Structure 1
Amino acid sequence: MVETLGGLGQNDTFDVVVVGAGGAGMSAALFAAIDGARVLLVESTEYVGGTTAYSAGTTWIPGSKHAADVNRDDSVQNAEAFLQRAVGTRSSEAMRRAFLAAGPKAVAHIEANSDVKYRARPFHPDYLSELEGSTLRGRALEPLPFDGRKLGRDFALIRPPIPEFTVLGGMMVDRDDVGHLLKMTKSFASLRHAVKLLARHARDRMSWPRGTRLVMGNALIGRLLYSLLARGVTVVVGTKVEALHQGAHGVEAITLTHKGERRRIAVKGGVILASGGFNRHPARRAAMLPGADQSWCPGAPGHAGSAQDLALAAGARYGEGALSNAFWAPVSVRRRSDGTTAVFPHFLMDRGKPGMVVVDKDGRRFLNENTSYHLFGIAMQEANRKGQSVPAYLVTDAEGLRKYGLGMVRPGGKGLGPFLADGYLTEGRTPGELASKLGIDAAGLADSIARINRYAETGVDPDFQRGTTDYQRANGDATWTGPNPCLGPIGRAPFYAVRLYPGDIGAATGLVADENARVLARDDQPIGGLYACGNDMQSVMGGVYPGPGITLGPGLAFAYLAGRHAAARARAGANASQNKIATTA
Structure 2
Amino acid sequence: MVETLGNLGQSETFDVVVVGAGGAGMSAALVAAIDGARVLLVESTEYVGGTTAYSAGTTWIPASKHAASVNRDDTSANAEGFLNRAIGERSSAAMRRAFLEAGPKAVAHIEANSDVKYRARPFHPDYLSEIEGSTLRGRALEPLPFDGRKLGRAFSLIRPPIPEFTVLGGMMVDRDDVGHLLNMTKSFASFGHAAKLLARHARDRMSSPRGTRLVMGNALIGRLLYSLLQRGVTVLTNTKVEALHTGAKGVEAVTLSHSDERRRIAVKGGVILASGGFNRHPQRRGDMLPGADPAWCPGAPGHTGGAQDLALAAGARFGEGALSNAFWAPVSVRKRADGTSAVFPHFLMDRGKPGMIVVDKTGRRFLNENTSYHLFGIAMQEANRTAPSVPAYLVTDSEGLRKYGLGMVRPGGKGLAPFLSDGYLVEGKTLDELAGKLGIDKAGLADSVARINRYAQTGVDPDFQRGTTAYQNANGDAGWSGPNKCLGPIGQAPFYAVRLYPGDIGAATGLVTDTNARVLNRDDRPIGGLYACGNDMQSVMGGVYPGPGITLGPGLAFGYLAARHAAARGKTSQAALTDARDEAITLPVELNTHAHAK
TM-score (norm 1): 0.99
How far apart are 1:388 and its partner, in Å? 1.6
Q: Distance in 1 between matches of 2:376 and 2:528?
A: 40
Note if 1:329 corresponds to 2:329. yes
Counting only pairs closer than 5 Å after superposition, residues 193-212 of structure 1 correspond to structure 2 as: 193-212=193-212
Q: Distance in 2 between matches of 1:209 and 1:384?
A: 42
How far apart are 1:347 and its partner, in Å? 0.1
Q: Which residue of 1 aligns with 2:391?
A: 391
How far apart are 1:383 and its partner, in Å? 1.0
Match of 1:201, as an amino acid?
H
Q: Distance in 1 between matches of 2:167 and 2:355?
A: 25
TM-score (norm 2): 0.97
| CA deviation map 1:161-188 (0-9, x unaligned) | 0000000000000000000001011111
| CA deviation map 1:37-76 (0-9, x unaligned) | 0000000000000000000000000000000000001000
Q: Distance in 2 between matches of 1:312 and 1:105?
A: 31
Q: Distance in 2 between matches of 1:561 and 1:411?
A: 44
| CA deviation map 1:69-112 (0-9, x unaligned) | 00001000000000000001000000000000000000000000
Structure 2 segments unaligned to the other structure (5+ residues): 587-598
1:584–1:526 Cα change, 3 Å? closer
Q: Which residue of 1 aligns with 2:486?
A: 486
Q: Distance in 2 between matches of 1:356 and 1:320?
A: 37
How far apart are 1:574 and its partner, in Å? 5.0
Q: Which residue of 2 aligns with 1:29?
A: 29
Q: Is the 8 A contact 2:281 2:303 kept in 1?
A: yes
Q: Is the 8 A contact 1:572 1:581 kept in 2?
A: no
Q: Distance in 2 between matches of 1:83 and 1:579?
A: 33
Q: Distance in 1 between matches of 2:11 and 2:98?
A: 35
**SS at 1:206 equivalent:** coil
**SS at 1:133 equivalent:** coil
Q: Which residue of 2 aligns with 1:283?
A: 283
Q: Which residue of 1 aligns with 2:555?
A: 555
Q: Is the 8 A contact 2:275 2:302 kept in 1?
A: yes
**SS at 1:134 equivalent:** coil
Counting only pairs closer than 5 Å after superposition, residues 444-459 of structure 1 correspond to structure 2 as: 444-459=444-459
Counting only pairs closer than 5 Å after superposition, residues 85-104 of structure 1 correspond to structure 2 as: 85-104=85-104
Q: Which residue of 2 aligns with 1:125?
A: 125
Match of 1:207, as an amino acid?
S
Q: Is the 8 A contact 1:249 1:575 kept in 2?
A: no
Note if 1:470 corresponds to 2:470. yes
How far apart are 1:11 and its partner, in Å? 2.3
Q: Which residue of 2 aligns with 1:6?
A: 6
How far apart are 1:385 and its partner, in Å? 1.9
Structure 1: 4+ residue segments shifted above 6 A = none
Matched residues, number: 585
Q: Which residue of 2 aligns with 1:245?
A: 245
How far apart are 1:273 and its partner, in Å? 0.1
| CA deviation map 1:183-204 (0-9, x unaligned) | 0111110000000000000000
Q: Which residue of 1 aligns with 2:425?
A: 425
Q: Which residue of 2 aligns with 1:161?
A: 161
Q: Distance in 1 between matches of 2:406 and 2:576?
A: 58
**SS at 2:206 equivalent:** helix
Q: Is the 8 A contact 1:518 1:562 kept in 2?
A: yes
Note if 1:219 corresponds to 2:219. yes
How far apart are 1:580 and its partner, in Å? 3.7
**SS at 1:323 equivalent:** coil
**SS at 1:209 equivalent:** coil
Q: Which residue of 2 aligns with 1:187?
A: 187
Q: Which residue of 2 aligns with 1:377?
A: 377
Q: Distance in 1 between matches of 2:411 and 2:35?
A: 48
Match of 1:397, as an amino acid?
D
1:574–1:38 Cα change, 3 Å? farther
Root-mean-square deviation (Å): 0.8
| CA deviation map 1:257-299 (0-9, x unaligned) | 0112110000000000000000000100000000000000000
How far apart are 1:573 and its partner, in Å? 3.1
Match of 1:434, as an amino acid?
L
How far apart are 1:10 and its partner, in Å? 1.2
Q: Distance in 2 between matches of 1:210 and 1:394?
A: 31
Q: Is the 8 A contact 1:243 1:254 kept in 2?
A: yes
Note if 1:518 corresponds to 2:513. no
Q: Distance in 2 between matches of 1:486 and 1:415?
A: 26
Q: Is the 8 A contact 2:569 2:577 kept in 1?
A: no
**SS at 2:283 equivalent:** helix
Q: Which residue of 2 aligns with 1:345?
A: 345
| CA deviation map 1:457-497 (0-9, x unaligned) | 00000000000000000000000000000000000000000
Structure 1 segments unaligned to the other structure (5+ residues): none
Q: Identity over the aligned pairs, expressed in percent?
A: 85
How far apart are 1:581 and its partner, in Å? 6.5
How far apart are 1:386 and its partner, in Å? 2.0
Q: Distance in 1 between matches of 2:493 and 2:301?
A: 40
Match of 1:516, as an amino acid?
N
Q: Which residue of 1 aligns with 2:40?
A: 40
Match of 1:322, as an amino acid?
A
